[in-house]
Amino acid sequence: MEKTFVFILMPFDKSFDSVYENGIKPAADEMEVLYCERVDKQIFEERILDRIYNQINKADIVVADMSGRNANVFYEVGYAHALGRRTILLVNDAKEIPFDLKHHSHIIYKNDISFLKTELKKRFDFFIKNPSIKTVPNFNKLKFFLNGVEIIRDVLIQLDVSSDSYANSRSLPIGIDVHNDSDFFFTEKVQVGLQSTLMFSYNREANNSSVRIGDFAYLHQGGELGELFPNSYKKIMFDLSFGDTDLEQGSQFAFLLKVYTAIEVVNTNFFVKINLEGRDMSFMSI
């Protein structure tokens, strides 16, 4: 079986050898249907620049490490883009991404070669399964908030709940705010879900649904996120149903935020602590 050719662009500097030998090449080799090379590992007779352009022309996928803002690599990536080559961009530090390339997806590996290898395999797999798609979706700039606090791993977020309002409805609205933290229009397909041991109320307006996924686990699926303007926000509502369960001051619940993308499902566990208030007021999760 003919393998898919992955051509590697990176500065000719020994400091990048580990990125190639321990990250990029093993990621391709383990996919079995791929093989990758960088130009200084090949044997050829023509000028090196002619060889690079020749290999970009032949490549099925181009992987480029943009770290250090190397002028040659930038020029070669521009050539690959002009040819419509499927391109995966890497960078060690997000600060090195120039404005003109911020709308392209980058693997920001921060000297973590194991992370780089894992993320590369996801993108290789995406291109293998979607041969007609030319670009990797860009999800790097989406951030998620609850009650103004960013949802990151193991964060504890306090919610103020009116005890009078809760007593009447026996439910708790959870509003997840999604922020496009970039200067570019976001159009990728993303769905957001929330998993909990608590049941969910049906929310017709939010166009979402719940499924039971275990003896004590429920998954609430929000609708597709849709488009987001640069630096804009969108709220996704989930209504938790407590049934016969009584909320108490300081009650704490575990949640799992699930973000479904074309490449993977990103899971982030977090906790919510309830602060019951005795006065009659409408609960807001803003």
Asked whether 156 and 123 are in contact (CB, 8 A), the reply is: no
Strands 86-91 and 34-38: unpaired
pTM: 0.69
Q: State whether CATH 3.40.50.450 applies to domain 4-129.
A: yes
CA distances from 172 to 59, 166, 237 (A): 53, 7, 10
Is residue 74 helix, strand or coil? helix
142-277 topology per CATH: Immunoglobulin-like (2.60.40)
pLDDT at 164: 62
Residue 27: the pLDDT is 95
List average pLDDT for each run of 10 residues in the chain, which is 286 residues long. Answer: 88 89 94 86 70 91 94 93 93 86 85 94 91 79 91 90 63 86 81 82 56 80 85 87 67 89 88 72 37
CATH 2.60.40.10 domain span(s) along the chain: 142-277
pLDDT at position 244: 58
Residues of the chain with CATH 3.40.50.450: 4-129
pLDDT of 285? 40
